Amino acid sequence: MDLTSYAELAVLLVNRKHGLRSLEALRDLLSETGRTEAAARATRRDLDAICELREELTGVFESAAQGDAADVVERLNGLLVRHPVHPQISGHDGQSWHMHLTEGGRVADAVAVGSVMGLASVVTGLGPDRLGICQAPPCRNAYLDTSSNKSRRYCSERCASRANVAAYRARKRNA
Ligand SMILES: [Zn+2]
Ligand SMILES: [Zn+2]
């Protein structure tokens, strides 16, 4: 079971900065990540629950970016209690037998369990310092650092080059 793709879902959720304004926006996000069946089933109630979840996941990334590992773990443990896993073995669409984390539940529960388990797996497998917030102001997007030397500081190439330009200008001003 590849939990990294679930952790990526958490990142995508956090980075919908202006929240998920409509059910359409939620459906787009789910479709984009290949969750078409969930996209078709999502309701208003799912949207409300996922917006709340988004706030909580943002808190996890903020704590990680501040280097507060104990708080990251506390927040994730709280989320794990509230979003229990209901695993089932599944083998649809010609795929080999694999685990599903939540079968048949509400879309919001599946999204919550997936993103929380994904982040928990990154934190335990790689370390809490692998969750970060982009350091190119005013961006503050979340990212996962899966680099071998833990060198990531920006959410994207675009933010990295923007930060480089800003640092260059600052050096020139000071020279
Ligand atoms: Zn499956
Ligand atoms: Zn950024």
pLDDT in tens, 39-52: 999 999 999 999 99
Phi-psi region of 83 (alpha: psi -120 to 50; beta: other; left: phi over 0): beta
Between CA 119 and CA 9 the distance in angstroms is 10
**pLDDT band, very low/low/confident/very high, at 92 (cuts 50, 70, 90):** confident
% of residues, the chain, pLDDT over 70: 99
pLDDT in tens, 66-89: 999 999 999 999 999 999 998 889
User: Minimum-distance ligand to the CA of 135?
Assistant: 2
User: Which CATH number is 4-174 given?
Assistant: 1.10.3300.10
User: Minimum-distance ligand to the CA of 94?
Assistant: 1
Q: Would you say 58 and 72 are in contact if contact means Cβ atoms under 8 Å apart?
A: no
User: Minimum-distance ligand to the CA of 90?
Assistant: 1
pLDDT of 7 > 80? The answer is yes
What are the residue boundaries of the structural domains of the chain, listed by start? 4-174
Give the environment of ion ligand 2: residues with CB less than 5 A. 134, 136, 139, 141, 155, 159
| Residue burial 159-172, b: 16+ Cβ < 10 Å; e: rest | bbebbeeeeeeeee
DSSP classification of residue 104 = S
pLDDT in tens, 53-63: 999 999 999 99
Between CA 38 and CA 28 the distance in angstroms is 11
